[in-house]
Amino acid sequence: MTGSGFGGGVAGESGGVFGSVFGIGLTVPQLGPHVTRDALRQFCQSAERLGFSSLWVQEHLFFALEPSAPYAARPGTSVPEAYRATMSPLEVLSFAAAWTERVRIGTGVLVGGYHRPVELAQRLATMDILSGGRLVAGLSVGWSKDEHDQMDVDFRTRGRRMGELVEAVLACWGPDPVSFDGEFFHIPPSVVSPKPLQRPHPPLLSGMRSEAGLARTAALFDVWNPASGTIEQIQAARATIDAARPAGRPPISVVQRVFTEPPFVVPGLAPLGVDALRASVVAARQAGFAEVIIDTGFSTEVHGPHDWATFPERLAPVLTALA
C-alpha cells in the first residue's frame, strides 16, 4: 500500500490491509448547521496532531420532509435531524486531505446508487493521488428511497447495482484499454486515467450488512465497517465473510464504528463519555479489529463552530487505549 497515512497507534494484532497498527479514527464535521471552513480545518489538524489515525465522511443528499419510505437504517425511528444539512463528502474530504499529511482519509460511506463507475473511479483516483496514497474507498447501498428516486435509480436494484459498480470501478483502475458490459453499466473500450496511487487500488471498505451484502463484501471488498452491532455480532458476521472469501484473498479487515451519541433517540441513553469510548476501543482491539471510528456527527453538544474545532481535544483521552 503506497503512502504513509497510518496516524497514531501501537503495534497490535489487527493485520489486513491496514497493517499491524491499530488506530482510532474520527468522523469529521459535516452534518448540521455549525460546520465552517475554520472549524473543519482546526478539527482535522488537531486530530492528526493528537494521534488519531483516520478522518471519515459520509454521503446524503437532502432531508425529505415527507419521506416515501421509513428510515431503513433504524426501523421505527425518524430520520435524524442532523441530516437537515449535510456537506458534500468528497469536497469535505479533499479539504481534510489538503490540511493533513499522515492520517488516512476515508469515505464511510459513499452510496453506490448516487454514482456511476467512470465518474467515481476518476474522483477517487484523484483523491488518492492528491492525498499521497491515503484514501480508503468506502461504499454501501444506502437506506433512503427518496434520495435514490432523486438520482433516477430504482431503490429495489441498489444491491445488484452496487456489486456491478464496484466491478466496473475496479476495471477502470486496471490496465487500459478499459471496457465493461453489465446490467447497469457499459463502458466502451477507453483509456480511463488517472489510476490511483495505491496499487492495485485503494482499500475498498463495505458498509453492507444483509446476507447478500455480506456475500458482496466477501467477494469484492478489503475492509468491513458495520454501522452497528455488538462485538459478538460483528465477529459472527466476520466469520461468515471470511468463509466466503475467494481463494487467495486475505481475511477481511474489520473497522468498528462507535458513536459519541447514536443517530436515533434512545430513551434514557446519555452521550458516551471518554471512559465508555475508551472501553469500547479496548474491546475492539482485543477482538482483533483493525480500527475504531468514533462517529461524532450526531452529537447534541455541538452548539457552534468552536465546539467542532475542539472536539478532537475533548476525545484525546480515548487515545490512551492505544498504550
Residue spans of the domains in the chain: they are: 16-322
Q: In this predicted model, what pLDDT tens digit does every residue of 46-96 receive, in sequence order?
A: 999 999 999 999 999 999 999 998 887 777 788 999 999 999 999 999 999
CA distance linking residue 195 with residue 201, whole number of Å? 8
Please say whether the beta carbons of 135 and 106 come within 8 A: yes
Amino acid letter for position 178: V
The three-state DSSP-derived secondary structure of 183-252 is: CCCEEEEECCCCCCCCCCCCCEEECCCCHHHHHHHHHHCCEECCCCCCHHHHHHHHHHHHHCCCCCCCCC
* pLDDT band (50, 70, 90) for residue 270: low
Q: What are phi and psi of 67, to 5 degrees?
A: -60, 140
Q: In this predicted model, what pLDDT tens digit does every residue of 160-216 receive, in sequence order?
A: 999 999 999 999 999 999 999 999 999 999 999 999 999 999 999 999 999 999 999
CA distance linking residue 70 with residue 123, whole number of Å? 31
Q: Given 3.20.20.30, 3.40.50.300, 1.10.10.10, 3.40.50.720, which CATH number is that of 16-322? A: 3.20.20.30
